């Protein structure tokens, strides 16, 4: 007698496709904007957009230039390990995750992948969004921070919902 082991259900497959497509779109969008900014702003010019300026900068470190004195290969290797761990985590949890959680993971993963792709070339991450009072950053950073914020909010909401159901 053969035992049939069902594969992932349709919801899990849709969630994982959403994760992959969302991450690819986020990464492609950021990589494209970085290429545009590198060409357009290479002469040192900046463009004023009100609260933001487009101004080209290169970051040898991670957030807030942390790790900028580490060897580029060590920083790239560490970031790749973190991104792979994030991808494995995202793949596993999307099986049962709600859509906002999946989209947040896609934004986070896409932003992280985009920064790894950018860093792989020369050890630097291209930044182009400048506020005047905050370190210059890029769209991938926006995806990472927004994704993390939504994950926290979704986790709180899930926690509140679970407490309501259990009467805690």
Which residue numbers are catalytic? 127, 141
Name the residue with tokens 């005047």: 132
Q: CA-to-CA distance for 107 and 39, rounded, in angstroms? A: 25
CA 70 from centre of chain? 22
């Amino acid at each position: 007698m053969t035992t049939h082991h069902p594969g992932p259900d349709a919801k899990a497959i849709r969630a994982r496709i959403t994760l992959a497509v969302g991450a690819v779109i986020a990464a492609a969008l950021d990589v494209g904007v970085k290429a545009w900014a590198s060409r357009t702003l290479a002469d040192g010019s900046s463009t004023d957009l009100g609260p933001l300026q487009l101004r080209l900068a290169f970051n040898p470190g991670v957030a807030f230039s942390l790790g900028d004195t580490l060897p580029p290969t060590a920083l790239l290797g560490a970031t790749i390990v973190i991104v792979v761990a994030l991808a494995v985590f995202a793949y596993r949890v999307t099986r049962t995750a709600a859509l906002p959680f999946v989209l947040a993971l896609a934004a986070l993963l896409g932003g992280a992948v985009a920064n790894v792709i950018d860093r792989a070339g020369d050890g630097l991450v291209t930044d182009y969004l400048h506020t005047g009072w905050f370190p210059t950053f890029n769209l991938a950073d926006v995806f990472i921070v927004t994704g993390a914020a939504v994950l926290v909010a979704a986790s709180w909401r899930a926690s509140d919902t679970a407490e309501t159901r259990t009467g805690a």
